[in-house]
Structure 1
Amino acid sequence: MRIDPVRLKLKELLDANARFDLAARGTTNHCPMALLALAEMGASAERLQAFFDRWEREYALRAPPVDVVIAREDWSEHLGNAAAFGALRVFFLEWITEVGSVPVIVAVLNDVPFAPATQAFHALIRLAYGIEAAHSGEIASGLAALVCSHLPVDLQFDPSRAAESVEAGFEHVIDAMGGGAVEGSSITSRLRVVASDVRFRQAVLAPPASTCLLDDLARATIAAYWRSRNFTILHTVTATHAARILFAQLPGEMAKRLLPGLWGAMCAAYVTVGRQVGVGMDVVPESEVSWSDVRRLAVAADDDHVIKMAYTCLCEYRRQPSAVYLATAARLVGLDLGQR
């Protein structure tokens, strides 16, 4: 059987990524997520290596040595302990090696509150991409990030006060919070402000009664990003896709139980942005751009957010074709819509 050199290189680089810290210079460690997206969009082994080398040279921080051993019964005591990332990663990796990834994911999400807003949604995205890559180390890293950087959006929903739609739910809570953007130096800091605001907790509605809330969230978030080009809203698009990957691994009832947590985190993210006056076009233009054009330029890109967002658009388009995904990805990579 022929061994795929791209898959071999991806595994090699995801293994090597373990020497990087959770944080990076001015950001978080996006490298493993971008590598998976590049590989899935057709990047060569050489391109993966070049991206990794550039990330290591310009952004990566060396992971501190792990000098703490976490016992099986003690891991949840490190909830919110940012310094425990390395030790938690080692612990989760050993546990996954012993029993497999799905039992560990289920156990973690059963024992700690689901907090998809953690690390501005990056912990969720990293976990999902680790699942997609079938890479135990990255699954362990995603779980460790969810635990050590835990950012809960603690809400109690009244079923009698449910949003009529995803969009209506977002608008309702933005209205209740005054419609303005939240001040803060980062997405995470702004999310923390909203999550701790009693007005937000009182105003947010229960998720709309829908048999396909995840699909509704996907449609609403991509439409909002197309109109606004807002960086925070971009993260809600990639996070919704990541949640789809994660939930597919879980028992159906568990995924259903976790969905309100995703809804609450999304509402918080939209409140941080405030009421957006669309800078893009409401109507998606007819485009002769092809996905092969988009993939080629996305693979050549160095911006990790462009890479991940283009990949998300490609995946969601394959699942449920919509012109807005192609138009959004084309705009991200600099293609002139309407022209080949």
Structure 2
Amino acid sequence: MPIDSVHIKLRELLDANARFDLTARGTTNHCPMALVALARMGASPDRLQAFFDMWERKYALSAPPVDSVISRHEWRGYLGERAAFGALRLCFLDWIADAGAVAVITEVLREVPFAPATEAFHALIRLAYGIQAGHAGEIASGLASLISSNLPIAASLDERRAAESAGAGFDRVSRAVSGLALPTGSIVARVRAVATDPRFGETLLAPPASVALLDDLARATIGAYWRKPDFTLLHTVTATSAARIVFAQVPDSLMKPLLAHLWVALCAAVATVGWPDAEVADVPVPTLDWSDVCRMAIASDDDHVIKMAYTCLCENRRDPSPLYLATAARLVS
């Protein structure tokens, strides 16, 4: 399969996705993220089209008309304004055409506090996948989602002692809020409930003092998901991987605050389901290999299976661990 034909089809479908709303029936718009993951795992143009058609038929909602214009000097005033998503997307898209994606991503992340839990991490993941695809529309959509659906978590890390490890920090806040009655439904509602509970703020620690904090978080989250295959923990794995992609675009001077906000958001997310106590046991050798995993993920219509399998593939290439193949094999099977 000529790789150009896949890229052409992917770009065509990502362009077409602009007619879909930020939300979907019973979920958010996962379509563009799944398409990028499918393409990068080796899906054919026909498979990309079939997934897009399935999504449009079963889940997509039409984007409302954009009846206002937001200039690149006004976007900060629309923080948390869900209805402004479409206008913000066009604002960022126009700005990217003039200044380039890296400049716009950097400016947005510098000007407003980073809120990675926005839409329970999907805004961050969408931005990362847009970067990987080199698609200005999806980069603009990810940024617009981060601003319009902004979910800040007010928790200063100043003068807090550092957690001994990522797992120790996650475990501490999980135990502190273990009796909290959480709303049913979206991860967003549960994260918001934990983040506003006083016990969360009282027990939150600073992140471990590690020069490779993203690597530590990646190992901790995949280990937790292996031990406890919970839907929320799945998102901590995909969000950590997405953060690595986004953070690679910005100057080193922004890394410390961005990592701090990511740490707080992951702590809140983990606390909604609890940190699994058991240590990682010996990981069984799967009967599937990576080619099997990719083939089965490509055949799936489950966007979370697709994205998680792709994340495991990428993270294993970066930092090989039997957990990634075992996790992905369990998921696609």
Q: Please tell me the TM-score bracket, short chain as reference.
A: over 0.9
Give distance in 2, aligned partners of 1:90 and 1:181: 40
Residue 185 (structure 1) aligns with: 185
Give distance in 1, aligned partners of 2:46 and 2:304: 20
Answer yes or no: is the 8 Å Cα contact 1:182–1:273 preserved in 2: no
Give distance in 1, aligned partners of 2:274 and 2:284: 26
Task: State which drifts further: 46-55 or 186-195.
Answer: 186-195
Residue 65 (structure 2) aligns with: 65
Cα deviation code 1:44-90 (max 9, x no counterpart): 00000000000000000000000010122211111000000000001
Within the alignment, does 1:283 sit opposite 2:282 as a pair? yes
Normalised by the length of structure 2, the TM-score is 0.97
Answer yes or no: is the 8 Å Cα contact 1:284–1:323 preserved in 2: yes
Residue 111 (structure 1) aligns with: 111
CA RMSD of aligned residues (A): 1.5
Q: How far did residue 173 of structure 1 move?
A: 1.0
Residue 303 (structure 2) aligns with: 304
Task: State which drifts further: 250-259 or 134-143.
Answer: 250-259
Cα deviation code 1:260-285 (max 9, x no counterpart): 0000000000111125466x973311
Q: How far did residue 176 of structure 1 move?
A: 1.8
Q: How far did residue 289 of structure 1 move?
A: 2.0
Sequence identity percentage: 65
Cα deviation code 1:69-118 (max 9, x no counterpart): 01222111110000000000011000000110011111111111100000
Residue 324 (structure 1) aligns with: 323
Q: How far did residue 195 of structure 1 move?
A: 1.6
Gaps of 5+ in 2: none
Cα deviation code 1:171-229 (max 9, x no counterpart): 11112223667333210000111122222112100001001000000000000000101
Q: How far did residue 256 of structure 1 move?
A: 2.6
What does 1:209-288 align with in structure 2 at a 5 Å threshold? Answer: 209-276=209-276, 282-288=281-287
- The residue type equivalent to 1:260 in the other structure is A
Give distance in 2, aligned partners of 1:262 and 1:277: 22
- The residue type equivalent to 2:33 in the other structure is M
Aligned to 1:273, what secondary structure does the other structure show? coil
Residue 52 (structure 2) aligns with: 52
Give distance in 1, aligned partners of 2:313 and 2:181: 30
Gaps of 5+ in 1: 335-340
Q: How far did residue 3 of structure 1 move?
A: 6.9
Give distance in 1, aligned partners of 2:181 and 2:56: 34
Aligned to 1:66, what secondary structure does the other structure show? coil
Give distance in 2, aligned partners of 1:306 and 1:242: 16
Give distance in 2, aligned partners of 1:313 and 1:303: 16
- The residue type equivalent to 1:301 in the other structure is S
- The residue type equivalent to 2:295 in the other structure is R
- The residue type equivalent to 1:309 in the other structure is M
Cα deviation code 1:14-38 (max 9, x no counterpart): 0000000000000000000000000
Cα deviation code 1:290-314 (max 9, x no counterpart): 1001000000000000000000000
Normalised by the length of structure 1, the TM-score is 0.95
Change over 3 Å in CA distance of 1:132–1:181 after alignment to 2 = farther
Q: How far did residue 288 of structure 1 move?
A: 3.9
Task: State which drifts further: 76-85 or 159-168.
Answer: 159-168
Cα deviation code 1:116-142 (max 9, x no counterpart): 000010000000000000000000000
Task: State which drifts further: 307-316 or 100-109.
Answer: 100-109
Give distance in 2, aligned partners of 1:240 and 1:3: 28
Aligned to 2:52, what secondary structure does the other structure show? helix
Residue 24 (structure 2) aligns with: 24
Give distance in 1, aligned partners of 2:214 and 2:94: 32
Question: Number of residues paired by the alignment?
Answer: 332
Aligned to 2:272, what secondary structure does the other structure show? helix
Give distance in 1, aligned partners of 2:325 and 2:308: 11
Aligned to 1:153, what secondary structure does the other structure show? coil
Aligned to 2:288, what secondary structure does the other structure show? coil
Task: State which drifts further: 252-261 or 223-232.
Answer: 252-261
